Amino acid sequence: MAPAGPDVGPQTPCGQGAAQISLGVDQPYAPNPSLAFPVEEGLQGGVHVDVSLRVQGSLDPDSVDVQLRLWDGDTLRGRHDTADWFFFIDQAAQACDYPKARIVLEDGADGVLPPARLGEVLDRPLILDVRLSSPAGRAERQAQITLLRP
C-alpha cells in the first residue's frame, strides 16, 4: 500500500481517501437510487430485508466489521452485525461490495416482527445507520429508506 497523507488514507483495493458507502441490492451489486427495499418472509416465521453495500475509498476488504441498524424513530426495528468479514473487490468500479446484508426485522421489544405486523414498518420512512470499520479505514452512512410489501 502506498503511503498517504493525513486526510487521504492508504490506497486499498476499495480505493483511496475517505470511504463512501452506497446502498443497493443483489449480487453483483446493483444501485438502488430509490432506497426502497422489498421485505421477504423467512422460513422461520420472521421477515427480513436484504441491503447490499458498496464502498469506495480507504477500507481493508479482508477485515471489515459491519454494523447496520434500522430505526423507526427511537425504536430499533432491525440489525445486522458481522465482525472481521471480507468484501468482494470490484476492480472495474474501484470499489468493494458486501452483498445482501440480511436485516431481520424486530418488533421493537427484542422479538422478531411477525408477518402479521409487517404493516407497522411498510411504505414509510425508516433510518438505516451503517457503520464499517477496518484496519485501513472507517465509513459511516445514515440514509432514509422505505420497506416495500413482499
Q: Tell me the per-residue pLDDT of 91-115, one tens digit each, with 9 for 90 and over.
A: 999 999 999 999 999 999 989 999 9
Q: Give, as one character, the DSSP assignment of residue 122.
A: B
Confidence tier at 135 by pLDDT (50, 70, 90)? very high
CA-only gyration radius of the chain, Å: 16
Per DSSP bridges, beta strands 64-72 and 75-85 are antiparallel
Q: Give, as one character, the DSSP assignment of residue 113.
A: P
pLDDT at 89 over 90: yes
pTM assigned to the model: 0.92
d(CA 70, CA 47): 13
Q: What's at 29, amino acid-wise?
A: Y
Mean pLDDT score across all residues of the chain: 93
At residue 6, the pLDDT reads: 52
- Which residue from 13, 9, 31, 11 is spatially nearest to 22, judged by alpha carbons? 31
**The three cell numbers locating residue 91:** 476492480
Are the C-beta atoms of residues 13 and 91 closer than 8 Å to each other?
Answer: yes
